[in-house]
Amino acid sequence: MIGNKEMLKNATNKSKKITALIQDGFIAFTGAGISFSYPSSIPTSETIKRIIWQELDSHLIDDQDLRTRINNRINFLLPQIKLETMFEVFLRRGVTDIFDSLLVFNQSNPNLDHYLFGLLCKLGYLRAIFTLNFDRLHEKALEAFHLPYTSFLKDVDYKPETKISECIGTPVFHLHNGFLPDDNETSHLNAATSLVRTNLPYEKASIFASYLKKYPILCAGYSNNDLDTFNYLSKYSKKILWYSHYSEDIEPLPPDVTVVKNVLGGNFIQIIRGEQYHNEQTFNDVLINRIPELQIYKKNLIALVNPFGINSLEDKEKIIREKIHEKIRSSVHAIILIADLLDLITERELALELIKKYDLLRLNLDNELVESTASILTHIYDRMGQPKLALKYSKLSIVRASGDEKLANMINYASALLGAWKKEAYRV
């Protein structure tokens, strides 16, 4: 059993390694956990997923047994389903402005974690920020320190001719894109959907990889299983400082992260909230406790916190809930969204049962709803090894989408030649 002196020695050595890593220059990689604390109070993806599912589920009222079975599967799989996947279902089924439901994020203020990153920029330690968050709270924190920065908020910002060396101030790379300042247009956030893009576009990937090769990376508030960024972390990182919100028994490192930890050995430093100091509440507490040189700035950071605006987590959840409710046009639309979600998470038998139960191809539906249902059936039957039925519904979805029987036959033939393998086979 390790004695108190040995524990203190290990903690001191870890603090020295963390201090050295930070002061030698590093990059940050942040996720939703950074923006959760007061007064930012932005709901996590788990909360938003739950809000979306509760709204969809409220339309499942005709068959309690089927509803129970669907809920059992969704509730079991929900932690594994990415928020972007749920948004993609809306995008695929005609709700192209689904990200408008998150505009409340723009009314949030930075918290101490954001200000700590701003301080580290001011001290010259932090060379770039990479974030998965849509919000611009990192930028607001930099503004509070009167520091210049360059935001990368849309895919076009990463165009090949962009020269990072010519950027003004600290570059803030929103890898899933971000809200534009003073603009409610959110269509560029569609780039975040997980099945539309399972790898970063080349321009984003090359920038991310180039920084990973050059600097150690601090991962904080990170979702641990992000689909299109973790492979770059695991492939190119030389040194990682990994922040965990909870102890190992509550939040064990995911298998992929454990592999990286084993490969990097001493170059993978994990810091856990409360492992040394029990009064730690947020990321800034943890880092300041481990880097004594930062403690003199704590009061200055607290003075920057602005408590005004929509601060309540509950208020923001309510606004998101209302916006999601507005996006669902009818109960039939909700059932189609649920069927598509079940298909995407490979619960296809339940999806078929749902479509048949609600008779989603009845003639009084408008073309868009019939086309959506037929395209879901196309994918389900293709994945279930029934190409004739897949082609039948592919043709139906084409006719309802275009109204052109000749075009339908042409694309139906092309789909047959290609094996109807695409999710949206009628668009081949």
Scan for tokens 């068959």, then name that residue: 63
**What residue ranges of the chain have pLDDT lower than 70?**
1-11, 194-198, 223-225, 227, 363, 402-403, 405-428
- For the chain, what is the radius of gyration of the CA atoms? 24
93: DSSP letter: T
Query: Which residues does 255 contact at the CB level (< 8 Å), separation at least 6?
Result: none
Q: Which amino acid is at 34?
A: I
Residue 317's pLDDT is: 95
DSSP per-residue codes, 104-157 = GGGG----HHHHHHHHHHHTT-EEEEEE--SS-HHHHHHHHTT--EEEE-SGGG
Angle, to 10 degrees, between the axis of helix 331-344 and the axis of helix 348-357? 160
Query: Which residues does 170 contact at the CB level (< 8 Å), separation at least 6?
Result: 121, 126, 127, 128, 129, 142, 147, 148, 149, 150
- Put the strands of the sheet holding 240-244 in their side by side order: 149-152, 170-174, 126-131, 26-30, 217-220, 240-244, 268-272
User: For 227-241, b where at least 16 C-beta lie within 10 A, e where not — what string?
Assistant: ebbbebbbebbebbb
* Token pair of 197 as six digits: 């893009």
> 149-152 and 126-131 as β-strands: parallel, antiparallel, unpaired?
unpaired
Helix (H) or strand (E) holding 27: strand 26-30
- HSE value, Cβ hemisphere, 13 Å, CA-based, for 233: 28
Q: What is the pLDDT of residues 376-400, one digit of tens each?
A: 998 898 888 887 888 888 878 877 7
Residue 191's pLDDT is: 74
Residue 421's pLDDT is: 46
Q: What is the pLDDT of residues 143-175, one digit of tens each?
A: 999 999 999 999 989 987 777 778 899 999 999
Contact 385, 366 (CB under 8 A): no
In the beta sheet, which residues pair with residue 227?
Answer: none
* Residue from 403, 400, 356, 363 nearest 380 by CA: 356
Q: Which amino acid is at 184?
A: N
